[in-house]
């Protein structure tokens, strides 16, 4: 039950899950060599950070097979969030575009 609840929460609020993982487990130190990548992942690509961490922990230090597919999908979701946010702001008139 706890695993399913954590997975559902990760889909909805990945940064909150990253904070819980940071404080309650040692997964970041096991999956990443430095703290730079998790911090950048937290700020810019949270789904990719979660997927990569899961792949590194489950794949014994490598990303391959279905874990690679999951990481690629996570990258696409994160990039979609970035580009989708810009498009929605443009539609609402919050972004001023200068035309020549």
For residue 100, give both structure tokens.
Answer: 């020549």
For residue 54, give both structure tokens.
Answer: 């899961």
Res 96: pLDDT: 56
Instruction: Check if the beta carbon of residue 46 is closer than 8 Å to that of residue 80.
Output: no
* Measured distance CA(10)–CA(69) in Å, rounded: 18
Instruction: Spell out the per-residue pLDDT of the chain, length 100, in tens.
Output: 566 676 666 666 888 888 888 888 888 887 888 888 888 888 888 888 888 888 887 876 677 678 788 788 888 887 887 766 555 555 655 555 555 6
Please state the three-class secondary structure of 65-85 as a single string: CHHHHHHHHHHHHHHHHHHHH
Domain regions of the chain by residue span: 2-92
């Amino acid at each position: 039950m706890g695993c399913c609840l954590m997975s559902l929460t990760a889909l909805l609020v990945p940064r909150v899950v990253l904070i819980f993982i940071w404080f309650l487990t040692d997964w970041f130190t096991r999956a990443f060599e430095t703290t730079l990548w998790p911090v950048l992942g937290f700020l810019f690509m949270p789904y990719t950070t979660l997927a990569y961490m899961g792949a590194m922990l489950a794949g014994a230090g490598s990303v391959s097979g279905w874990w690679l597919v999951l990481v690629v999908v996570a990258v696409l979701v994160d990039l979609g969030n970035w580009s989708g946010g810009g498009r929605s702001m443009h539609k609402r008139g919050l972004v001023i575009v200068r035309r020549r």
